[in-house]
Amino acid sequence: MNRPLPDISSLKPVGGKRSSKRDLILNAFVRQEGHLSADDLYDLVRKEDPGIGRATVYRTLQWMVGAGVARKVDFGDGRSRFEPSYRHPRHFHFICNTCHRSSEFLSSDIESLIDEIAAAREFATTQAVVQVFGECVDCRTGRRTPSLEHGVTERVFARDAMRIAIATERSGLEFYTRAAGMTRDPQGRAVFERLAEEEQEHLGTLEKRYAELLVDDPDLETRPTFLFFKGPAHGLFADGTAELRKGGVNDLQALLIGIRCERGSHRFFKRYGERFEDSEGKQIFLEFADEERAHLDLLIREYRALQTRLGTVGRPRRRAAAGRPTR
Which CATH number is 204's domain given? 1.20.1260.10
What global pTM score does this model have?
A: 0.69
- Sorting pLDDT into bands at 50, 70 and 90, what band is 181? very high
Q: What confidence score (pLDDT) does residue 325 get?
A: 60
Q: Is residue 138 located within the same domain as residue 189?
A: no
List, for residues 188-215, the tens digit of each pLDDT value: 999 999 999 999 999 999 999 999 888 8
- CATH code for the domain of 141: 3.30.1490.190
In a domain, 43, yes or no: yes
Query: Average pLDDT for residues 146-158, to the nearest whole number?
Result: 68
Is the residue at 327 inside a domain? no
Task: Please report the pLDDT score of residue 299 as a whole number.
Answer: 97
* Position with higher pLDDT, 319 vs 238: 238
Domain match, 121 and 49 both: no
- Picking from 88, 104, 119, the residue at the C-terminal end of a domain is 88
Do 296 and 214 reside in the same domain of the chain? yes
**Residue 156: per-residue pLDDT:** 84
Distances in whole angstroms, Cα of residue 224 to Cα of each of 13, 166, 210: 38, 18, 17
β-pair type (131-134, 92-96): parallel
**Claim to verify: residue 122 and residue 219 sit in the same structural domain:** no
* Cβ atoms of 45 and 86 closer than 8 Å: no
Exposure class string for 167-178: b at 16+ Cβ within 10 A, else e: bbbbbbbbbbbb
Q: Clarify whether residues 121 and 70 are in a common domain.
A: no
Query: Which residue, 52, 68, 88, sits at the end of a domain?
Result: 88
- The residue ranking higher by pLDDT, 192 or 272, is 192
DSSP state of 316: P
Whether the pLDDT of residue 167 is over 80: the answer is yes
Judge whether 326 lies within some domain: no
- Tell whether the model's pLDDT for residue 316 goes beyond 60: no
For residue 15, the model assigns a pLDDT of 44
Residue 188: count other Cβ atoms within 10 Å of its Cβ.
23
Both 217 and 275 in one domain: the answer is: yes
Same domain, 169 and 231: yes
Least confident of 91-105, 180-194, 232-246, 303-317: 303-317
- Answer whether residue 182 shows pLDDT above 90: yes
In a domain, 78, yes or no: yes
Interatomic CA distance for residues 289 and 293, integer angstroms: 6
**Could you tell me if residue 223 is inside a domain?**
yes
Inside any domain, residue 9: yes
pLDDT band at 86 (very low <50, low <70, confident <90, very high): low
Q: What is the CATH number of the domain that holds 30?
A: 1.10.10.10
User: How many domains, in total, are found in the chain?
Assistant: 3
Range of the structural domain that residue 12 is part of: 1-88
- Asked if residue 179 has pLDDT above 60, the reply is yes
User: Looking at residue 308, what DSSP letter applies?
Assistant: H
Per the model's pLDDT, the better-predicted residue between 135 and 76 turns out to be 135
Indicate the residue among 98, 120, 145 that finishes a domain: 145
| Statement to judge: residues 186 and 307 lie in one domain | yes
The 10 Å Cβ neighbour count of residue 207 is: 14
The answer on 282 and 157 residing in a single domain is yes
Res. 26: pLDDT tops 70: yes
As a whole number of Å, the CA-based R_g of the chain is: 24
What is the average pLDDT across 299-312? 92
What's the pLDDT at 248?
92
> Could you tell me if residue 3 is left (phi over 0), alpha (psi between -120 and 50 degrees) or otherwise beta?
beta
The alpha-helical segments, DSSP class H, found in 7-53 are: 20-30, 38-48
The pLDDT-based confidence of 18 (bands split at 50, 70, 90) is low
Are 137 and 174 in a shared domain? no
d(CA 36, CA 80): 8
Asked whether residue 278 carries a pLDDT value surpassing 90, the answer given is: no
237 and 220 within one domain: yes
Task: Decide the pairing of beta strands 70-74 and 80-84.
Answer: antiparallel
Q: Are 315 and 184 contained in the same domain?
A: yes
Structure confidence by residue, pLDDT tens digits, 130-147: 888 999 888 999 887 766
106 lies in some domain: yes
> What is the model's pLDDT at position 176?
97
Any idea what the Cα angle at residue 31 is, between residues 26 and 33, rounded to 5°? 120
Is 179 in contact with 117 (CB distance < 8 Å)? no
Q: Helices marked H in 217-250 — which ranges?
A: 230-233, 238-246
* 322, pLDDT greater than 50: no
Beta bridge partners of 215: none
pLDDT band with cut points at 50, 70 and 90 for residue 321: very low
More confident residue, 249 or 69: 249
